[in-house]
């Protein structure tokens, strides 16, 4: 079970609406084509240097771990917005497979 005091950040899950430009190119860089799916409270932690070095062997792009209460319907194709920051979801893990919390491994997108 997650300690409610650690869920200090407000995050929003977004799904791309499938927009393509006149040339048929997918334009995921345009924020107006990402639609809100759900909002929740989360614990957002950057990966420490030691964890990053260990994770680099299997997931070299993970920059943050985000923990939320369990919720159905989330997918790797979504992204997370937190204030002005954007995170690409790399994997969603049902922590201890108990349907109590999700651990989301993310890469922060820098624009």
- Give residue limits of the domains in the chain: 4-109
**Residue 28 pLDDT exceeds 90:** no
* C-alpha Rg value of the chain to the nearest Å: 15
Torsion angle, alpha carbons of 46, 92, 41, 81, to 10: 70
The answer as to CATH 1.20.210.10 being correct for domain 4-109 is no
Angle at 107 between CA 102 and CA 108, to 5 degrees: 115
Greater pLDDT, 85 or 62 = 85
Residue 51 confidence (pLDDT): 52
Q: What is the DSSP string of 67-93?
A: EEE--SS--TT-EEEETTEEEEEEEEE
> Which 3 state secondary structure label does DSSP give 43?
strand
């Amino acid at each position: 079970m997650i300690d409610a005091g650690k869920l200090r950040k407000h995050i929003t899950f977004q799904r791309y609406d499938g927009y393509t430009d006149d040339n048929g190119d997918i334009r995921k860089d345009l924020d107006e084509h990402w639609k809100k799916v759900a909002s929740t409270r989360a614990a957002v932690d950057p990966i420490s240097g030691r964890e990053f070095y260990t994770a680099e062997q299997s997931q070299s792009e993970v920059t943050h771990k985000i923990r939320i209460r369990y919720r159905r319907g989330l997918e790797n194709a979504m992204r997370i917005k937190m204030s002005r920051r954007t995170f690409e979801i790399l994997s969603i893990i049902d922590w201890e497979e108990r349907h109590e919390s999700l651990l989301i491994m993310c890469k922060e997108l820098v624009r």
